[in-house]
């Protein structure tokens, strides 16, 4: 499965997680929040989201969403913040292996999309389904 990023791939590092068991909507909003940030700053931001000190403001998926501190619709998607943080750290390790400077890496592309469902069984019959998500992170070295 290829990446959805179509830009130039010079001085970039990539990481991808396929079929992760997190909410696609919350992960999309988390990826939107970190897009364009410096990688180290994004990791600190996601640690604050996990500790519920800083909220992720929701843009698209905010129907009937209560307001977080600051007066905007948002929340604290702890599970998706953890998955995105691990993926950014993995991309930083890939950048280090390629010989790039890890303190100058910026998140150029971060995307999450639904990648199917897995049935959950209760007493031999499927009752509900677990949503699965694919997450992509591409870092680029800034000058």
Identify whether 5 is part of a domain. Answer: no
Residue 8 domain flag: no
Model confidence over 85-95: pLDDT tens digits? 999 999 999 99
Q: Which domain holds residue 103?
A: 13-141
pLDDT of residue 127: 77
In a domain, 31, yes or no: yes
Per-residue pLDDT tens digits for 101-123: 999 999 999 999 999 898 887 77
* Number of separate domains in the chain: 1
Tell me, what CATH number does 123's domain have? Answer: 3.90.470.10
Q: Give the side-chain half-sphere CA count within 13 A for 109.
A: 17
pTM score over 0.85: yes
pLDDT at 9: 87
pLDDT at residue number 12? 95
pLDDT tens digits for range 50-84? 999 999 998 887 777 777 777 788 889 999 999 99
pLDDT per residue over 20-54, tens digit each?
999 999 999 999 999 999 999 999 999 999 999 99
Would 4 be classed as within a structural domain?
A: no
């Amino acid at each position: 499965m290829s990446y959805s990023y179509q830009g130039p791939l010079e001085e970039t590092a990539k990481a991808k997680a396929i079929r992760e068991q997190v909410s696609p909507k919350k992960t999309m909003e988390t990826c939107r929040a970190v897009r364009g940030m410096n990688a180290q700053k994004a990791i600190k931001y996601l640690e604050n989201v996990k500790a519920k000190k800083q909220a992720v403001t929701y843009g698209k998926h905010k129907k009937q969403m209560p307001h977080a501190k600051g007066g905007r619709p948002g929340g604290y998607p702890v599970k998706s913040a953890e998955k995105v943080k691990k993926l950014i750290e993995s991309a930083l390790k890939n950048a280090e292996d390629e010989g790039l400077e890890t303190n100058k890496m910026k998140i150029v592309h971060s995307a999450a999309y639904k990648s199917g469902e897995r049935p959950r069984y209760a007493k031999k019959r499927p009752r509900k389904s677990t949503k699965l998500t694919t997450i992509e992170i591409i870092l680029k070295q800034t000058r």
